[in-house]
A and B are shown apart, each in its own frame.
Chain A
Amino acid sequence: MTSEDRLLAALSAPAAPAKDMHFALEVMRRAEAERFRADAARRVLRGAGLAVLGAGALILASSWAAENADALLNGALALAVGWTGIGVLRRRIGAPR
C-alpha cells in the first residue's frame, strides 16, 4: 500500500458519526437558550425605553406646570366649578347620576 493510498484512506474515513441525535438536541437546546436570552433582552430594552419615555413626559409636565402654575390653577378651578355646576343642575332636574 503506497503512502498516497494510506493518506486517501485515512482522510476519507468519516471524522464524525453519520447520525447523532444528541448533537442535534444540544444545538436545539442552545438555540432555545439564545432565543430566550434575546427575548429577555428585548423585553428589558422595551421596559427601559418606556420608563425613559414616562420619566421624560413627567419631567416635561412638571416643568410646564411650574411655569404655568396660574393657568393650571385657573383651569383646575374652572373644572371644579363646572363639575359642581353640572352636579347641582342634575340634582335640580332629578336626573340619575
Chain B
Amino acid sequence: MANEEEARLIADARRGDGRALALLVAAHQQAVRGFLRRFAGHWADADDLAQEAFVTAWRKLDRFEGRSSFRVWVCGIGYRIARDARRAHRRAQARDYAWLEEGDSEEGGAPLEDRIAVARAMSQLPDDQRAAVALCLGEGFSHAEAAAILDAPLGTVKSHVLRGRERLLKILDATP
C-alpha cells in the first residue's frame, strides 16, 4: 500500500470511516497475525490478540503520529498486548501448530515437518529473542522497525536476532 493511500485511509478512519479501517486491517493483517502467531504460538489466541491490537489501534488512532509506519505501530500494540496477557495469565499454554497446516505444505519452499520443528524450537526461545526472530526473520521487518515495535535499543534487537537464530539452528541440527 502506498504511503499517501495509507495516510488518506488513516485520516478517514480517524473520522470514523469503517471502510477505511477495514482496508487498513486487510492490508496489514498478514504481518500482524504472522508476527503474533510466531510469538504467541497458539494460533487462535494469536488471532484474538491481533484483533484486539487492531481495535486498540483504531481507538488510539488520534495518537498515531506517523513516526513509524502503521504496520509497525500496530505490531507494537499487538506485542504489548500479547506480552501483558502472557504475564497476566502465567499459565502453561498449550501450543498449537494447526496454523502451520493452513497453507500448502510446500508453501514458501519449506516442508511442513521443518515448519513444525522451527515453531517448536521458537517456543524454547526467551520472549524477547522469539519476538525479534519472528519480526526480522519471519515477517521481514528491518532491525530498526523491530526495535521500534519492541521498544528496545537497535543493538539489543540485532543481538536477539543473532542469538535466537543460533539457538534455532542448534535445535534444528538436532532434529532429523
Contact = CB atoms under 8 A, between A and B. Distances in A.
Chain A binding surface, main DSSP class: helix
B103 interface: yes
A10 B114 contact: yes
B26 interface: yes
B108 A23 contact: no
Contact of A17 (B102, B115, B133): B102
Interface of B is mostly: helix
A7 B59 contact: no
B30 A16 contact: yes
A24 B22 contact: yes
Interface string A1-44: 00110111111111111111101111110111010000000000
Contact of B26 (A3, A9, A21): A21
Interface stretch (B1-9, B77-85, B143-151, B164-172): B164-172
A25 B47 CA distance: 13
Contacts of A21: 26
Interface size grouping (class) on chain B: 35 or more
A24 B172 CA distance: 35
Contacts, number: 104
Interface string B57-74: 011000000000000000
Contacts of A23: 25, 29, 33, 47, 50-51
Interface string B89-132: 00000000001101100011110001101100000000000000
Interface of B: 18, 21-22, 25-26, 29-31, 33-35, 37-38, 47, 50-52, 54-55, 58-59, 99-100, 102-103, 107-110, 114-115, 117-118, 133, 137-140, 165, 168-169, 172-173
- 4 closest A-B pairs by beta carbon, nearest first, are A13-B108, A16-B33, A15-B34, A9-B110
29 contacts: A3-B169, A4-B169, A6-B114, A6-B118, A7-B165, A7-B168, A8-B137, A9-B109, A12-B110, A12-B137, A12-B138, A13-B107, A14-B108, A15-B33, A15-B34, A16-B30, A16-B31, A16-B33, A19-B26, A23-B29, A23-B50, A24-B25, A25-B22, A27-B21, A27-B54, A27-B58, A28-B22, A31-B18, A31-B21
Interface of A: 3-4, 6-21, 23-28, 30-32, 34
